[in-house]
Amino acid sequence: MKYKGSCHCGKVAFEVEGEIKGAMACNCSICQRKGTLMWFVPRDKLHLLTPESDAATYTFNKHAIQHRFCPVCGIHPYGEATDPKGNAMAAINIRCLEDVDLAAIPVQHYDGRAL
């Protein structure tokens, strides 16, 4: 299935392909504050509809994850990193997707604070 998503103001917009079988809520220092529900997909399944330069990037700690956000409205629609096998991945904030029933998505809680 193909989903459309964006930040609040629309400066950062994208499409993503896949099946949402679940999402992850992390309690690390940044995810706890952002309140994201992450759905992980191969990076090549994320297609930007706006220039990549429209999204700002924040990294911290080990600088392994590029937290992408809109510099205008501040919303974090996705992040980018590699999985343990070295594959490029995207963490899609499903709260930024159109026409998704969030209550129907099972959420796994991850203890990111323990890392």
Please name which of 75, 38, 40, 37 lies closest in space to residue 55, comparing C-alpha atoms.
75
pLDDT band at 75 (very low <50, low <70, confident <90, very high): very high
Mean pLDDT value across residues 87-101: 98
**pLDDT value at position 115?**
79
Q: Mean of the pLDDT values across residues 89-113?
A: 96
User: Given a cut of 90, is residue 22 above it in pLDDT?
Assistant: yes
Number of domains present in the structure of the chain: 1
Return the pLDDT at 37. Answer: 97
Query: In which domain, by residue range, is 50 found?
Result: 2-114
Domain of residue 11, CATH code: 2.170.150.70
